[in-house]
Amino acid sequence: MERHIRWNWERSPDDDDMVRYHIVVVDDKDRPGIVRRILEQLQKCNSVIPVRSREDKVKGTEFRYLFESYDTSVAPKMISWRQISKRIIKDSDLRERTKGNIENYVAGIYS
């Protein structure tokens, strides 16, 4: 297990004009700061609406993860992932669920 960021986006189930970003930051320090750098890029283009947030420990490591979801109308191409100095993983399974919930999916990855 190493420091990294998982992310995905999908159409927001709450608003057809918006997309929902899911972001998971795994690190041993400054997880909120890393998410803030991503959000700053989104906020340059349009507003961002927080949906959820959860933080927990990554089992068997010194790392913790921070999971957050946001609604916005900003397309993924507007994010410069190179400005984020972590390993980036686009995870197509990081999405809203019809069975269970996304929080359980994230917890299952890291426990």
107, amino acid identity:
A
Q: What pLDDT is recorded for position 93?
A: 94
For 96, list phi and psi in degrees, rounded to 5. -60, 150
CATH architecture of 4-110: 2-Layer Sandwich (3.30)
| pLDDT at residue 95 in the model | 95
Instruction: Determine contact, residues 54/13, Cβ cutoff 8 Å.
Output: no
- In whole angstroms, what is the distance from residue 17 CA to residue 62 CA? 39
Q: What is the pLDDT tens value at each position of the chain, 111 positions in all?
A: 799 999 999 999 999 999 999 999 999 999 999 999 999 988 888 889 999 999 999 999 999 999 999 999 998 888 888 888 789 999 999 999 988 899 999 999 998
Kindly report whether the global pTM for this prediction surpasses the value 0.85: yes
What is the SS3 assignment for 19? strand
For the chain, which residues make up each domain, given as ranges? 4-110
pLDDT at 86: 81
